[in-house]
Structure 1
Amino acid sequence: MKQILSIYINKPVYWGFTALISLFCLAFVLPWLFNISVLLSLAFGGMLLVDLAMLLGSQKTFIAKRFIPERLSNGDQNTIEIALENRYGFEVKISLVDEIPFQFQKRDFQIDTQLASNTTQNLQYTLRPTQRGEYLFGALNVFVSSPLGLLQRRFQFEKDKTVAVYPSFLQMREYELMAISNRLTDVGIKKIRRIGHTQEFEQIRSYVQGDDIRTINWQATARRNELMVNSYQDERAQSIYCLIDKGRIMQSPFDGLTLLDYAINSSLVLSNIALHKHDKAGVITFSNKINQTLLADRKSGQLHRILDMLYHQQTLFQESDYEALYIHVKKQIKQRSLLIIYTNFETVNSMRRQLPHFRKLAKEHLVLVVFFENTGLQNILEQPASTTAEIYQKTIAEKFYYEKKLIVKELEQYGIQALLTSPQQLSINTINKYLMLKAKGAI
């Protein structure tokens, strides 16, 4: 009975029944059509029985398996793989319907393919989550049709699997590989010119793409008959803190992600780079109160602790309390550190309300305030204005655009580092700023 309930009717069956009913109706007018209609009905019924017998084989006539990573990366394209195996003795047509988590809002997901007898096939598709949390995958439905194509049998596999979506660890790994191979310039990280060689000499090694040609050791190059460079060791064990504002100003959306999620992804990437530079990495999250604190460290497992901490961050849609942040930093962070504050300001006045707290922090630490460009305003500024309404909109957009520039200038007047960046360039620009401050010995 269970097998019978898994059988579904394809469109050709409805077309066949429609044609037979039409013939029987015509037989009232043309009696000679009656016998032909009966014969066609018997033939059509026989084909249905044959198709049913072909599909209702043994239990293991078709196998499918879905391979999902243990966790998905937020804001990135994640690959889902499906393995199909046809154990029927004939070629089958397949319609694959995967029950994707509701967060993706994909109601028309379907993959059609064909698979020869006793063969396997791997299919892939990608998903881009835009929220952290748990995602529930439903059943993997595979509808199989025989060469006759009248009926189809449904197979269900991999029911109800929950997968967690973490901050962008794929982006983190990409930058990690670039850092290890000295190829960060390939993704937009600038080469930072150091003021002299205050760093300690570490070793002589082979030249790789991205190395400064001024560090070539010509004597070693002549001996080895290949380019060799002097490698210098930066000052280590400096404390880097990512301070993430979770207030309502960080809930503005951009390309499916909120500014908070961009800040979380960037914090993970920067912490990983800092740990590879042998610095200490830590994270503090806050809104109307201090939420969580992970003190800077570079011990084994620190990156996993940062990842788990960032995974659980959610906004309370409250006004952020920078005075509470200053008091907390004063109590918890005793060593001079680089404090990277991820926040957002739309006007100079909104920044000035927090400026006294930034100045207090800057007396004891190196403070870098990171905030976001309004890319919607940028699009308005690039469009020509022809009507009065468009001129008005462009004028207002220019006002807000220059307000952002004024915020940078005013922060720098008080010795506070500032970074104005678009969300998609956040990680690259923040890493550039960190490497520049490190090269200057500002930390």
Structure 2
Amino acid sequence: MIRSLFVALRLWLLLIAFVMAFVAAWALPVLLPLVQIALGVFLVLIGIDGWLLFRPTLGNRTAFFARRDVPDRLSNGDENPLTIYLENHYPFRTDVDVIDEIPFQFQRRDLLFRDRLNPNETKTIRYELRPTKRGEYSFGAVNVFVLTPLGLLKRRYQFETGKQVAVYPSFLQMRQYELLAATNRLTQVGIKRIRRVGHSMEFEQLRPYATGDDIRTINWRATARRTDGQNASLVVNAFQDERSQPVYCLIDKGRPMQSPFDGLTLLDYAINASLVLCNVALYKQDRAGIMTFSNQLGQVVPADRRAGQIGRILDALYRQKTRFQESDYELLYTSVRTHIRQRSLLLLFTNFDTVNGLRRQLPYLRRLAKDHLLLVIFFDNTALRALIDQPAQDTEQVYQKTIAEKFAFEKKQIVRELQQYGIQTILTAPQNLTANTINRYLDLKARGLI
């Protein structure tokens, strides 16, 4: 009971006022009896306030109840909603201060909520947390400090003492893309409508003509049958995309992928994009798999489209960590030869900063591109881009801008070097990685390259 009792700010202010009143009574003795009476009333009010806070309740129900609603898994890099439910069983109005002990990884000490509840009222506090690292997160207690209308003392209640929550790759982003795809609203997140250059010969259905359709697919007989007076509606033959094509995300876990951007590392961006892409590939009836590597071979999930495949990919990506060493591309090549026997689309998430760094690995990339359709995805340095766009004010800034332009030119050279050998490339800012990767995958699929 004593450990849950705290003094409110109002009580400290009143104590200061009484000290000042006794000082004044020492100068004016006539005030002393009034101050003593007020002090006695004050002590009685403290006793009443304590009794109201700790008064026995009927049955086993506590006078106040709180519960934190947190999912078993949090999505890395996304705003995850959390909820605290409050129930006041006191017969009077209460003011509450709620402090939630969130995991130390968030480095936040300002999570304080204040509210007021009437008798037998229930309220909900909603807030969001954005984790930036995968792994186990430990929540502490929900501390609720209750005050009566007198506001002299506080009683602390503690609920939900300790809970372990796993932070997984961005499954919220994956669900968002899946929902938008189901409602044909992918353009809202930067996914372009891909005009199909060619098509397979497997007929699927008849559908109304849409702008951009190949006029050679118009079914004139079906159009003639649907002609009604003056209203003629063109009908086209729709063909199925090639299905069951293997799609592998190759994720580099070497030192360059540890570079941070907006709280996340490049490895986390690659993992989040790989999860979304694998889900899109499965939605397109392709087979999705992953392979991670650095100086050692990491996790390998063979391409498949059976039920539960996205769950297996999610569990595998959850455990990936940067090894802070140079990646072995020879190991990558031999691992692909061993584990991937059928021609596949390989999306290599990595980062090259210099042309010399690329040329050391180029022989292995060319061998991969010989047996598979290889798409190399690496990152533009947005900080350098902002420095280039900013006007220089002095000699030092001119020097810094020149160095930044040199590094930006190196990135463009890397793209040209890869394209020279027929290797597909994407140079993208981290925040645009997912949309750009999906756009290229849909483009390659529409062109019939996979």
- What TM-score, normalized to structure 1? 0.95
What CA distance in whole angstroms lies between the structure 1 residues aligned with 2:72 and 2:237? 41
Are the equivalent residues in 2 in contact too, given 1:339–1:365 (CA < 8 A)?
yes
The 1:229/1:19 distance shift into structure 2, 3 A limit, reads farther
Which residue does 1:271 correspond to in 2? Answer: 278
Are the equivalent residues in 1 in contact too, given 2:200–2:239 (CA < 8 A)?
no
Which residue does 2:39 correspond to in 1? Answer: 41
Superposition deviation, residue 109 in structure 1:
1.2
Which of 318, 331, 334 is residue 338 of structure 2 equivalent to? 331
What CA distance in whole angstroms lies between the structure 1 residues aligned with 2:48 and 2:226? 78
Which residue does 1:407 correspond to in 2? Answer: 414
The 1:205/1:169 distance shift into structure 2, 3 A limit, reads farther
Which residue does 1:307 correspond to in 2? Answer: 314
Which letter maps to 1:52? G
1:382-437: CA deviation from partner (whole Å, max 9, x where unpaired) = 11012111111111111111110111111000011010000000000000111111
Alignment of 1:351 onto 2:362: no
Which of 111, 117, 136 is residue 138 of structure 2 equivalent to? 136
Which residue does 2:181 correspond to in 1? Answer: 179
Which letter maps to 2:213? R
1:50-79: CA deviation from partner (whole Å, max 9, x where unpaired) = 211211132611111110012000000000
1:106-141: CA deviation from partner (whole Å, max 9, x where unpaired) = 112101111111111111000000000010000000
Where structure 1 has 5 or more consecutive residues not aligned to the other structure, the ranges are none
What CA distance in whole angstroms lies between the structure 2 residues aligned with 1:225 and 1:55? 78
Aligned residues: 438
Which of 153, 156, 165 is residue 154 of structure 1 equivalent to? 156
What CA distance in whole angstroms lies between the structure 2 residues aligned with 1:282 and 1:220? 45
The 1:220/1:394 distance shift into structure 2, 3 A limit, reads farther
What CA distance in whole angstroms lies between the structure 2 residues aligned with 1:133 and 1:158? 21
Which residue does 1:214 correspond to in 2? Answer: 213
What CA distance in whole angstroms lies between the structure 2 residues aligned with 1:396 and 1:171? 36
Which residue does 1:19 correspond to in 2? Answer: 17
Where structure 2 has 5 or more consecutive residues not aligned to the other structure, the ranges are none
Are the equivalent residues in 2 in contact too, given 1:54–1:146 (CA < 8 A)?
yes
What CA distance in whole angstroms lies between the structure 2 residues aligned with 1:227 and 1:42? 93
SS of 2:267's equivalent? helix
Alignment of 1:363 onto 2:361: no
Which of 91, 94, 111 is residue 92 of structure 1 equivalent to? 94
Which residue does 2:383 correspond to in 1? Answer: 376
What CA distance in whole angstroms lies between the structure 2 residues aligned with 1:221 and 1:5? 81
Which letter maps to 2:15? F
Superposition deviation, residue 337 in structure 1:
0.4
SS of 2:27's equivalent? coil
What CA distance in whole angstroms lies between the structure 1 residues aligned with 2:333 and 2:69? 46
Which residue does 1:419 correspond to in 2? Answer: 426
Which residue does 1:240 correspond to in 2? Answer: 247
SS of 1:400's equivalent? helix
1:246-277: CA deviation from partner (whole Å, max 9, x where unpaired) = 00110000000000000000000000000010
SS of 1:178's equivalent? helix
Are the equivalent residues in 2 in contact too, given 1:51–1:148 (CA < 8 A)?
yes
What CA distance in whole angstroms lies between the structure 2 residues aligned with 1:218 and 1:45? 92
SS of 1:32's equivalent? helix
- Range that drifts further, 188-197 or 268-277: 188-197
Alignment of 1:286 onto 2:285: no
The 1:28/1:178 distance shift into structure 2, 3 A limit, reads closer
- Range that drifts further, 159-168 or 11-20: 11-20
The 1:52/1:407 distance shift into structure 2, 3 A limit, reads same
SS of 1:360's equivalent? helix
1:152-211: CA deviation from partner (whole Å, max 9, x where unpaired) = 11111001001000000000001111222232222111111112443533234689xxx7
| 1:60-139 correspondence to structure 2 within 5 Å | 60-139=62-141
- What TM-score, normalized to structure 2? 0.93
SS of 1:171's equivalent? helix
Are the equivalent residues in 2 in contact too, given 1:203–1:232 (CA < 8 A)?
yes
Superposition deviation, residue 353 in structure 1:
0.7
Which residue does 2:440 correspond to in 1? Answer: 433
1:304-326: CA deviation from partner (whole Å, max 9, x where unpaired) = 00000000001111110000110
What CA distance in whole angstroms lies between the structure 2 residues aligned with 1:377 and 1:195? 37
Are the equivalent residues in 2 in contact too, given 1:78–1:126 (CA < 8 A)?
yes
What CA distance in whole angstroms lies between the structure 1 residues aligned with 2:326 and 2:199? 45
Which residue does 1:8 correspond to in 2? Answer: 6
What CA distance in whole angstroms lies between the structure 1 residues aligned with 2:193 and 2:26? 89
The 1:334/1:290 distance shift into structure 2, 3 A limit, reads same
Are the equivalent residues in 2 in contact too, given 1:199–1:234 (CA < 8 A)?
no
Are the equivalent residues in 1 in contact too, given 2:198–2:448 (CA < 8 A)?
no
